[in-house]
Chains A and B, each alone.
Chain A
Amino acid sequence: MLHKFFARYCPFLLIFLLACDLKDAKEVDSSLSFTKIFDNDLFAKTFTPLDVKQTPDGGYLVLGETAVDFSTFAGIFLLKIDRAGNAVFSQTLADGSLNPVSDLVPTANGFFLMCMDILGNETKLIRIDFDGIRVTEVQRYTGINNPLSATPEGNSSWVVQHYNQDENAVYVSSLANNNPSRSQQMAFPIVVDGYTESRIEDAIFKHLNRIGRKKPFMSGSLGSGMYFYNGYLEETFSVVFFRFGEEYAYGPDGGQEPAKLLGVSDDEVVSNIFQTGNRTFALARYANGANFFTTKTDDLFNDIILNNTVIQTEDLTNLPILELFPNARVVLKRVQIGGRRVLLYASDTIGKQIVLFAYDEATGNLLGKKYLGSGFPYEIGGFDQTDDGGLAVVGTTYITGRFPRVCMFKLSNQDLLNLISLSGN
């Protein structure tokens, strides 16, 4: 009887038994997707990541800031991570390099980083090898002090915003990798003539000493001889568009001022701006705590650059983003997802999660968003697209709610495809 039973009905039983999911237990490529928190047993240490870049071995190098005992400025912290997300090396630079002001910029044999030196607050360019171990000074720029932001222009030069305390002016200078002197420069007054500059200068030095929130200083080239910086100009924190060598006038006497996207003091500013085309941009801004995205600028924005006019940031087409932390830091970059150009805004929510907003670059429409981190607070540091089409996101998390540590989310290409499918995950 039993053998008859099994002979007749075993196929059904086998189908039932074989409808299983053993394949899901097979180890996937651990580099595709992971979440990592880089802890340290030192009680008083604070680690704040700023940028992450993939290295040729498939691993990652994280750039961050940490307090050092030899200066009141921020020390530079480097963390090398293998492709599976395990820390393999970390160091805090002890060569006098402080206050990193650029992202890690990949070169053939390492990364360039523009930073400040402990001696005279001079700007200097260092090279970090892919392992994050060897750091060499490439160039020191005498007389270029208090760097606030830096972006590479091509392979051999930089656009650096820095503060000249003697002249009470913000400078934007074009610096070459192999030349200690600036090739071009332009000064911008931080206050209107006759006003005291102490408030603005105080704000700049608080930023340099990392007291309070960092300000979104930026600078860079827009092509065709046009440059921009995001920083102080005549008591405002504005995005200023200019050409080196042009004559600009300031103050009540009139004259041709540079084109600008006018912020108001420190409370209404552009928190990030990204050039999407010749005269088109995507940007994020905050105003008195509220946060806004402009995912595609219109003709009005084009006009201000062409005609050296001025508009208020509030005149932009703004999307209010209510879930962001007041005056949130925003990292804005372009990534390729499924062959589509996507603008990725990364920021912090009120609930202290990291949130990614994906917008179609062509239309400015929202494609999807994703939240990272939960349980303890999380804050965005930076992100970078990886060779496998995924995304590496670094941030700060507060272990047990009190220890600021580096965290990293590696998203797979599939995760990003899910992100732009408006699945709302």
Chain B
Amino acid sequence: MSIKLLFKLLGIISLIAVLMVSNAQAQKRKGDFGPFRKHKPQSKKKDKNLIRFENTQWWLGAKFGGNLTQAKPFERFTPFSSTSNFNPDFYNKQYQDFRPAGAFSGFVITFFHRGFSASLQPNYRRHRFLFSNDYEWLDLSNPNLNLTLNYQYAQSLDYIDIPLLFRYDILRSKLRPFVQLGGYYGQLINANLTLERTGIDRASGSTSPISEPELEVGNPNYFIKTSLGLLGGIGVNYDVGNVRLSLEANYRYGMNNLANAQNRYLDNRLASIGYAPDNVKLRSFEISLSCLFPMRFLISKNFKSVD
């Protein structure tokens, strides 16, 4: 499934690249010079085509970064139900926000025109979040006899993510800050749940710590494939020669429930240990660094990119 998706994605990227090239060639055939335009510094008045040429740029590059994710549950589920405490929230999972860190990397294709940009940034990303449950069993006739357990879950979700961002450059200097807003579409590639069980057994003759081997299971069927959301953020571009470095910080706002309601109790092993996925939406902060290369140049001594 994931290989098919990768092919799908590569197909789209290739399609975009082929189209860009064919478009440029078509313009060249029409008398337009496509990505290259002769630079005439001596002319006092730039012709209209040159001005139009200089106002537009394509950037292509790579991007990588890290993210911190918050899982926002909006409906709770658990296989456990208490016969001594009928509060439905009794077994709610405790989520730990924005930890641990995840990462992502991918491509950037940006079209720039007069301070505005549209940027398609396909990437592979991993979101990670933590949640836990605590359990306690007591012997009422002898309170010294008890067992406490802590189940600490770490969930990771891997996506092929396709954000489309619209960006405005606030300044047009060498160091140019920008704001951006957009949306994303993600396809789940893999999901893993890691469980660490610890506790204290005071019922077997002495106080004995419990530390069971870590359990790791793939649980992609507990989540739907699709992830949709909005993202926005700020950043700054810095040009080093013809290469542009871009540092940006974004906030991603997941719009849809990621849990697969059809498969909530799919795996008996996970139900036995009290796991059923809540309905959650993801929120995340991310910081990334991009290295971009211009696709259109003025023909001059140094092949200066248009800006």
Is B272 a contact of A1 with CB atoms below 8 Å?
A: no
* Interface assignment of B62: CB less than 8 Å from any CB of chain A: no
Is A86 a contact of B138 with CB atoms below 8 Å?
A: no
Given contacts A27-B279, A90-B84, A374-B269, 16 further A-B contacts (CB under 8 A): A24-B224, A24-B261, A26-B257, A33-B265, A37-B79, A37-B272, A42-B140, A43-B138, A44-B139, A81-B81, A87-B82, A87-B86, A375-B268, A400-B147, A403-B137, A406-B83
Is B12 a contact of A16 with CB atoms below 8 Å?
A: yes
Q: Which of B58-98 contact A (CB under 8 A)?
A: 75, 79-86, 88
Which residues of chain A come closer than 8 Å to B88, judged between CB atoms? 86
* Residue of B with least CB distance to A27: B261
* Interface assignment of B226: CB less than 8 Å from any CB of chain A: yes
Is A40 a contact of B83 with CB atoms below 8 Å?
A: yes
Chain A nearest Cβ from B57, distance in angstroms: 11
Stretch at the interface among A2-10, A258-266, A357-365: A2-10
* Residue of B with least CB distance to A62: B83
Contact check: which of B24, B56, B261, B269 meets A375 at CB < 8 Å? Answer: B269
Q: Which of B1-28 contact A (CB under 8 A)?
A: 8, 12, 15-16, 19-20, 23-24, 27
Contact check: which of B83, B85, B272 meets A397 at CB < 8 Å? Answer: B272
* Interface assignment of B203: CB less than 8 Å from any CB of chain A: yes
Is A2 a contact of B261 with CB atoms below 8 Å?
A: no
* Interface assignment of A384: CB less than 8 Å from any CB of chain B: no
Is A86 a contact of B15 with CB atoms below 8 Å?
A: no
Which residues of chain A come closer than 8 Å to B262, judged between CB atoms? 24, 28
Contact flags A82-95 to B (C-beta < 8 A → 1, else 0): 00011111100000
CB-defined A-B contacts under 8 Å, sample of 21: A5-B16, A5-B20, A8-B19, A16-B12, A20-B185, A20-B226, A22-B226, A25-B257, A37-B80, A38-B83, A41-B136, A42-B84, A42-B137, A42-B138, A88-B86, A90-B84, A371-B268, A400-B147, A400-B149, A402-B147, A403-B137
Is B140 a contact of A27 with CB atoms below 8 Å?
A: no
Contact check: which of A16, A35, A43, A86 meets B8 at CB < 8 Å? Answer: A16
* Residue of A with least CB distance to B265: A35
Contact flags B258-273 to A (C-beta < 8 A → 1, else 0): 1111111101111111
Contacts from A to B (Cβ < 8 Å): 1-2, 4-5, 8-9, 12-13, 16-17, 20-22, 24-28, 33-44, 47, 79, 81, 85-90, 353, 371-376, 397, 400, 402-403, 406
Q: Assuming A43-B203, A374-B269, is B111 touching A1 (CB within 8 A)?
A: yes
Chain B nearest Cβ from A378, distance in angstroms: 8
Query: In the assembly, what is the distance between CA of A209 and CA of B135, in Å?
Result: 32
Chain B nearest Cβ from A356, distance in angstroms: 13
Query: In the assembly, what is the distance between CA of A28 and CA of B141, in Å?
Result: 43
* Residue of B with least CB distance to A44: B139
* Residue of B with least CB distance to A405: B83
Contacts from B to A (Cβ < 8 Å): 8, 12, 15-16, 19-20, 23-24, 27, 56, 75, 79-86, 88, 111, 113, 118, 135-141, 145-147, 149, 185, 187, 203, 224-226, 228, 256-265, 267-274, 276, 279
Which residues of chain B come closer than 8 Å to A374, judged between CB atoms? 267-269, 272
Contact check: which of B19, B84, B263 meets A41 at CB < 8 Å? Answer: B84
Q: 3 nearest interchain CB pairs?
A: A375-B272, A20-B226, A43-B139
* B contacts with A: majority SS: mixed
Which residues of chain B come closer than 8 Å to A41, judged between CB atoms? 82, 84-85, 136-138
Chain B nearest Cβ from A197, distance in angstroms: 39
Which residues of chain A come closer than 8 Å to B111, judged between CB atoms? 1-2
* Residue of B with least CB distance to A43: B139
Is A5 a contact of B265 with CB atoms below 8 Å?
A: no
* A contacts with B: majority SS: mixed
- The number of A-B residue pairs with CB atoms under 8 Å apart is 143
Query: In the assembly, what is the distance between CA of A375 and CA of B263, in Å?
Result: 18
Query: In the assembly, what is the distance between CA of A406 and CA of B224, in Å?
Result: 31
Which residues of chain A come closer than 8 Å to B276, judged between CB atoms? 35
Which residues of chain A come closer than 8 Å to B138, judged between CB atoms? 41-43
Is A373 a contact of B268 with CB atoms below 8 Å?
A: yes
Query: In the assembly, what is the distance between CA of A35 and CA of B271, in Å?
Result: 7
Query: In the assembly, what is the distance between CA of A34 and CA of B77, in Å?
Result: 10
Q: Assuming A5-B23, A25-B259, A87-B86, is B81 touching A38 (CB within 8 A)?
A: yes
Is B12 a contact of A13 with CB atoms below 8 Å?
A: yes
Contact check: which of A43, A90, A371, A375 meets B83 at CB < 8 Å? Answer: A90
* Residue of A with least CB distance to B225: A21
Query: In the assembly, what is the distance between CA of A240 and CA of B261, in Å?
Result: 50
Which residues of chain A come closer than 8 Å to B271, judged between CB atoms? 35, 37
Is B145 a contact of A43 with CB atoms below 8 Å?
A: yes
* Residue of B with least CB distance to A5: B19
* Residue of A with least CB distance to B145: A43
Is A36 a contact of B268 with CB atoms below 8 Å?
A: no
Which residues of chain B come closer than 8 Å to A1, judged between CB atoms? 20, 23-24, 27, 56, 111
Chain A nearest Cβ from B220, distance in angstroms: 12
Which residues of chain B come closer than 8 Å to A39, judged between CB atoms? 80-83, 135
Query: In the assembly, what is the distance between CA of A400 and CA of B210, in Å?
Result: 11
* Residue of B with least CB distance to A77: B83
Is A20 a contact of B81 with CB atoms below 8 Å?
A: no
Q: Assuming A33-B265, A43-B146, A397-B272, is B81 touching A87 (CB within 8 A)?
A: yes
Query: In the assembly, what is the distance between CA of A233 and CA of B23, in Å?
Result: 94
* Residue of B with least CB distance to A408: B81
Query: In the assembly, what is the distance between CA of A371 and CA of B272, in Å?
Result: 14
Query: In the assembly, what is the distance between CA of A382 and CA of B61, in Å?
Result: 63
* Residue of B with least CB distance to A32: B262
Q: Assuming A4-B23, A9-B19, is B137 touching A85 (CB within 8 A)?
A: no
Which residues of chain A come closer than 8 Å to B141, judged between CB atoms? 44
Query: In the assembly, what is the distance between CA of A375 and CA of B195, in Å?
Result: 13
Of B24, B79, B140, B276, most A-chain CB atoms within 10 Å: B79
Is B147 a contact of A21 with CB atoms below 8 Å?
A: no
